[in-house]
Amino acid sequence: MALACALDYRDAISLLRRVLGSQKTVSNLGKSFYADYTQRLPMLIYEFSMLGEVFADRWLDMSDYEITLTSHSSDPTNRQLDISWCALRFAESMATAVTVQIEGESSPRLNLKSFGDSTSTTIDIPPFSVSKSLKITVEVTAITVAMGGDPKYAFLSQGKPSAVVIEEVLPSTTTLDFKEDFSRFRMMPEGPDSAVRPVGEKMKVFLLGSYRYWPMRFEDNRTGIALIAQSVGTLRKTNKWVRDGDKNIGAINIGESDVSFVGQGQGVRFEFDTLLAGEIQYRRTRVALRNAELRPSPPSQFQDGRPITNASHYPVLLIGSITWWRYDGGNNYWKHASSILEKTPDSIGEMKLLSDPYTYLDNDCLEVFGSNNELLRTIGPVWELMSAEGNP
């Protein structure tokens, strides 16, 4: 499509140049047509020069997409980073290019390396270190290259990339304001319904690698402590470790290989190796808008269905490189976990992603609203969607 359009422009420009270059043009065309063609030629040349950019803006823009990254290691001296993304579309002339830059290195680990219609790759990265910080920038770009015509003409277009940054910091502390980071946060009053909660509204948290850690307390055991781990700036999925604890934790002491959360007693100690065990996944969760004209085709069981939206742009849920949107399949609703609506609305207007620090496991909830701002359903945790049908 783009190549054919470019060739038409090239032929039109060539024709106008031949016409306007003839000494008989004015007498044959007349002054009015000659003046019109003279004005059209630079306009066509400009439009021809902008074809790649216009095509990229409409069909190759990945700037509002996410990338899933997973780091894992078999031993302390080696580590790999798995990179996966969502391809905009698959076509013979289209490919995906990946760039990976590690801060401090003179050249990228990957530099616009093309992966065709593949959606994943793995590279080596430096092992985790408590003495040296690490910053990795990953960009995934959609490109198209097509050649044709006589003489041969090559059409090249490159869209805006999807980008993600991993930053692993040295062991340190910072202050976390739960009201700013969690939209549902409020300190629960003392009582039987207060359950699990952070130690305070603002508190010191421990930073290690790309995670932050903070203590929670339990009503049924005032000296118990659960340490929560959350990937900074990416996903809300967390881990926890439960230990016999300390009251009124207010200090964090960092050692060479461990950290202690200290209150009125001796504190609670955690080894760095314990907190960093297992693979680490970087997968941001958020709501984005998509152009209804560019909506992909639905699965075969929904061919007779319809999108539940009347707008030119519709909200989608992004969980890393996976995109979720609502679809009415008639009597066969898309049965992913708790995402089935009680009744099919005329349209869906807005989706909101809410996080709650009290629910310390998978604490993302998605609120789905109708066109009249009526709350239709709360789906959550959204991580159920990833496991319901064997998704990554």
For residues 129 and 373, give the distance between their C-alpha atoms in angstroms, rounded to a whole number.
48
Map out the domains of the chain as residue ranges.
2-59, 285-388
- pTM of this prediction? 0.80
The pLDDT score that the predictor gives to residue 305 is: 56
The pLDDT score that the predictor gives to residue 343 is: 53
- Cβ atoms of 292 and 307 closer than 8 Å: yes
From the first residue on, what is the mean pLDDT of each consecutive set of 10 residues in the chain (392 residues)?
Answer: 88 87 74 84 93 92 91 88 87 88 93 87 92 94 90 92 92 87 62 55 87 73 70 61 76 93 85 82 84 66 57 81 70 40 62 67 70 79 63 50
The pLDDT score that the predictor gives to residue 339 is: 46
- Cβ atoms of 217 and 240 closer than 8 Å: no
